[in-house]
Amino acid sequence: MTQPNIAYNGEGIDIGFIAGADLRTKQFYIVKIDTSTGKVVLGSSAGEKCLGVLQNAPNSDQAALVRVFGVTKVKSGASFSSPGSYVQTTTSGTADVATTGDFPVGQMLGTAASADLATMHVNVGYVAMA
C-alpha cells in the first residue's frame, strides 16, 4: 500500500543563529552561514555547502532556528520522483535534486512536486557527490 506524502517535522538537532536577512516568509527553506557575518541566510548558489533547514520565520537580526540533523519539512523547488533522492539548494533556498559536484543537504523521504512542502532527512555532507 502506498503511503500518502504528508510533510512533517520529526525529531532532530536544531541550533540557534541570528538571521542575516528578513526570513519571515522562508520557514522550511535551506540556509547557510554567511561567512562575513556569521549569520544565517538563504542558500543562494545551486549545489553549494549549506547548514540545514530553517525551522522558524525570523526577521533580520532575530533568532533563527536551524535543523542541522534529523527529519524536517522543506520547500521543494523541483520535482522529486524517487524517495531517497539527495537534496541540494537552489539559488533561492528551495530543495532540488543533487547531482555530481553538488554538496547534498540530506535525502528526500518521499516524492514531491515543485513548490510542495516535502519531508526530508537533514544530514549535511561536506563532500561533493561523485
Distance CA 111, CA 65 (A): 25
pLDDT bucket at 4, cuts 50 / 70 / 90: low
pTM for the full predicted model: 0.93
Distance CA 49, CA 82 (A): 23
Looking at 3.90.400.10, 2.40.300.10, 2.60.120.10, 2.60.120.620, the CATH number of the domain 12-122 comes to 2.40.300.10
Percentage with pLDDT > 90 across the chain: 87
8 sits in the region (left: phi over 0; alpha: psi -120 to 50; else beta) called beta
pLDDT in tens, 50-103: 999 999 999 999 999 999 999 999 999 999 999 999 999 999 999 999 999 999
Distance CA 9, CA 118 (A): 10
Look-up of cell digits 542575516: 20
pLDDT in tens, 48-63: 999 999 999 999 999 9
Contact 81, 37 (CB under 8 A): no
Domain ranges of the chain: 12-122
